[in-house]
A = this chain, B = another copy of it.
């Protein structure tokens, strides 16, 4: 866990043209430049970002998949691997509540899943606009009118995707949140109405099931209802919240997810899988046609006609590793309930930690958790907000430098806050309270007081 300050990185002085010659020497060097000071997500006091410790069957899968090195682009490079990936996509779609026309593909991460979903939404919106127009529209007459509506707490990859897709600078409309950090559906309704009035084309509503900062879940049924009324693509970013798909006690938090046109799931966040393990799932496999390009040397048209299952037809990647094997072995060895139980445990702990924080006069906590994050701030009475900002920034850094724990930070209403992301089932409430004490001590130093 240690991440010492003053750490002198010798990496940049290593001559990569002068090999060490044997694995042992290379590993000794690696110990110095990486392993000794690595940030270990399986440390019970790693409480920073949306990364999880990993389950052993997934590691077994990783060893196998990398040695065989199957590439998932075409059938003749992957065979059984293609069928395994497809079966996992079907299984996930079924858990979401989608029907037989659902499909999807594994991706490199949530950011790519969101990009792919928004690309499909863009193409559907263009197709619709062309169909409804009396004159032939060209792409550049449609693109500037497209809008994406998402909550103020959604992931920054939505804005990044909009830029990538060639939309205008202000194409992403940020809908305000309620005090639990969920999208306000009345505000969404007003924005949709405003778009209609102004001749803008909402190409997608992006709801979040598990925001990065607050783990908040947007009101999916109400949002789905609005999307249906206005004929807008509903994408749900469940990168974080997808763990609820296997929860035996909290599956209901995802009610309404079955109305989505596309869903981002990150098994490497809440299924305890190593990076990468992600997917994008779509309600209607026909919408994937937008990214299907044929190459004579890879996936010729005749192969598609014959039904040869070339996964590249539905992926933004070409060569692609068999990440699905990790989830496959996890489910075959442990099963979904065991994974769901691990996820439920960290959500339970977050609830307990919230009660602790709520009682602790040293800290302000923003909102009760829906999943397993807590955003809080060292805030003793009688100190100015600016001083508190400095103290909280200092506390986070000092903790990181001391190497005893890692927490994250964020900004709420322009103010510096601290954040726990609890994704380790081995973390105890004692770990949480100890880290709070450490943070308070560091923050007090930051205020100029005694630790």
Contact = CB atoms under 8 A, between A and B. Distances in A.
Interface of A: 3, 7, 9, 11-12, 14, 16-23, 25-27, 29-30, 33-35, 37-42, 48-54, 57, 59-60, 62-64, 66-71, 73-74, 76-81, 83-84, 86-88, 90-91, 108-112, 115, 119, 122, 138-140, 143-144, 155-157, 159-160, 163-169, 212-213, 266, 268-269, 274-276, 291, 293-298, 300, 316-321, 325, 328-329, 331-336, 338, 400, 406, 408-411, 419
B33 A80 contact: yes
B66 A54 contact: yes
A317 B69 contact: no
A193 B60 CA distance: 56
B319 A275 contact: yes
B83 A69 contact: no
Nearest to A24: B333
A63 B18 CA distance: 24
A30 B324 CA distance: 13
A83 B11 contact: yes
Given A71-B275, A274-B321, A317-B108, A66 B76 contact: no
A216 to B, nearest CB: 13
B62 A62 contact: yes
Given A25-B332, A38-B68, 6 more contacts: A17-B335, A21-B333, A40-B68, A76-B400, A156-B293, A160-B291
Nearest to A333: B26
24 contacts: A11-B86, A14-B332, A19-B331, A19-B336, A20-B333, A21-B335, A33-B80, A33-B84, A34-B80, A39-B76, A49-B76, A51-B319, A52-B69, A63-B63, A69-B275, A110-B318, A115-B316, A139-B169, A140-B140, A143-B143, A155-B318, A212-B295, A276-B320, A300-B411
Contacts of A33: 80, 83-84
Contacts of A19: 331-336, 338
B79 A37 contact: yes
Contacts of A53: 69
B166 A139 contact: yes
Contacts of A320: 108-109, 275-276
Contact of A111 (B20, B318, B419): B318
A255 to B, nearest CB: 20
Given A40-B68, A66-B59, A83-B11, A16 B164 contact: no
Contacts of A140: 140, 143-144, 168
B411 A319 contact: no
Contact of A39 (B29, B79, B110): B79
Given A12-B83, A34-B81, A59-B67, A156 B316 contact: no
Nearest to A4: B79
A80 B331 CA distance: 33
A407 to B, nearest CB: 9
- Chain A to chain B: the 5 pairs with minimum beta-carbon distance, closest first: A166-B166, A19-B335, A34-B80, A296-B411, A11-B83
Contact of A84 (B11, B74, B296): B11
Contacts of A90: 12
A267 to B, nearest CB: 12
A69 B54 contact: yes
Contacts of A81: 34, 38
Contact of A76 (B3, B57, B338): B3
Contacts of A119: 164
Contacts of A25: 332
A18 B335 contact: yes
Q: Taking each of A26, A319, A409, which has the highest tally of chain B beta carbons within 10 Å of its own beta carbon?
A: A319
A30 B108 contact: no
Nearest to A144: B140
Q: Taking each of A79, A91, A109, which has the highest tally of chain B beta carbons within 10 Å of its own beta carbon?
A: A79
Nearest to A212: B297
A48 B76 contact: yes
Contacts of A144: 138-140
A78 B297 contact: no
A3 B336 CA distance: 31
